[in-house]
């Protein structure tokens, strides 16, 4: 892919710290959360593993997002690591707010909806790996809150590679290079 060019960086010009996040490749995930009364599904890309034992991940969520307070009330959530076939769901969930309507009522989500094993929030089948989490900590950090979840259930039969967000663009995962030692 010789024509990759990070638009945040102009040749010979220093990069703005404002656009630093574009230079880090991130996964594309859907966050599903329900407190038993209200539910939401939202696109989240600032997601990473943070501990092996216990298994913890973090997702950084803006307090402006409908999911933010819902996560704090629910004390649990699910992260669906999307495969590249599912980028349309990320765009759909990322461009509608749960404040206006319940995205779970949309055909695209309703058709793939299934019950999770350990959390109240519904999850999606055939979309990637599902990581069900118990919220164990939350840390306000700048204009977002780092939500830390313990992975209490993991499932998925993924034979399609995960979708990547880099430079605010969707990419497929490319060729295998080698195993990390």
**Residues 157-176, mask of contacts with its own copies (x by CB under 8 A):** xxxxxxxxxx-xxxxxxxxx
Residue pointed to by tokens 């349309």: 88
Question: Is 105 a binder of its own copies (CB under 8 A)?
Answer: no
Question: Is 123 a binder of its own copies (CB under 8 A)?
Answer: no
Report the nearest approach of its own copies to the CB of residue 21 (Å). Answer: 4
Residues with Cβ < 8 Å from 27, sequence gap 6 or more?
45, 47, 81, 82, 162, 163, 164, 165
DSSP secondary structure of 60-74: EE-TTSHHHHHHHHH
Nearest to 85 by CA among 156, 158, 23, 169: 158
Q: Within positions 136 to 155, which residues make up the interface with its own copies, using CB under 8 A?
A: 137, 139, 141-144, 146, 148, 151-155
For 129, other C-beta atoms within 10 Å of its C-beta total 16
Q: What angle do CA 54, 47, 43 make, to 5 degrees?
A: 130
Q: Within positions 20 to 79, which residues make up the interface with its own copies, using CB under 8 A?
A: 20-21, 23-27, 29, 46-58, 60
User: Given the complex with its own copies, which of 36 and 176 has the nearer CB atom?
Assistant: 176
User: Given the complex with its own copies, which of 38 and 129 has the nearer CB atom?
Assistant: 129
Report the nearest approach of its own copies to the CB of residue 97 (Å). Answer: 14
Asked whether 71 and 143 are in contact (CB, 8 A), the reply is no
Of positions 14, 100, 105, 107, contacts its own copies by CB under 8 A: 14
Question: Is 95 a binder of its own copies (CB under 8 A)?
Answer: yes
């Amino acid at each position: 892919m010789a024509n990759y060019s990070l638009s945040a960086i102009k040749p010979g010009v220093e990069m703005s710290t404002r656009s630093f996040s574009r230079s880090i490749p991130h996964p594309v995930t859907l966050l599903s959360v329900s407190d038993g009364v209200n539910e939401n599904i939202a696109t989240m890309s600032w997601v990473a593993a943070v501990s092996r034992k216990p298994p913890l991940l973090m997702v950084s969520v803006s307090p402006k997002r409908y999911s933010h307070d819902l996560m704090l009330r629910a004390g649990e959530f699910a992260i669906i690591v999307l495969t590249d076939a599912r980028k349309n769901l990320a765009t759909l969930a990322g461009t509608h707010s749960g404040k206006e309507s319940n995205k779970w009522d949309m055909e695209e989500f309703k058709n793939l909806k299934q019950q999770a094993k350990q959390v109240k929030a519904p999850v999606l089948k055939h979309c990637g790996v599902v990581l069900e989490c118990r919220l164990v900590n939350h840390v306000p950090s700048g204009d977002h809150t780092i939500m830390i979840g313990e992975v209490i259930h993991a499932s998925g039969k993924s034979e399609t590679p995960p979708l990547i967000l880099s430079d605010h663009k969707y990419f497929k995962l490319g060729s295998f290079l080698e195993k990390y030692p």
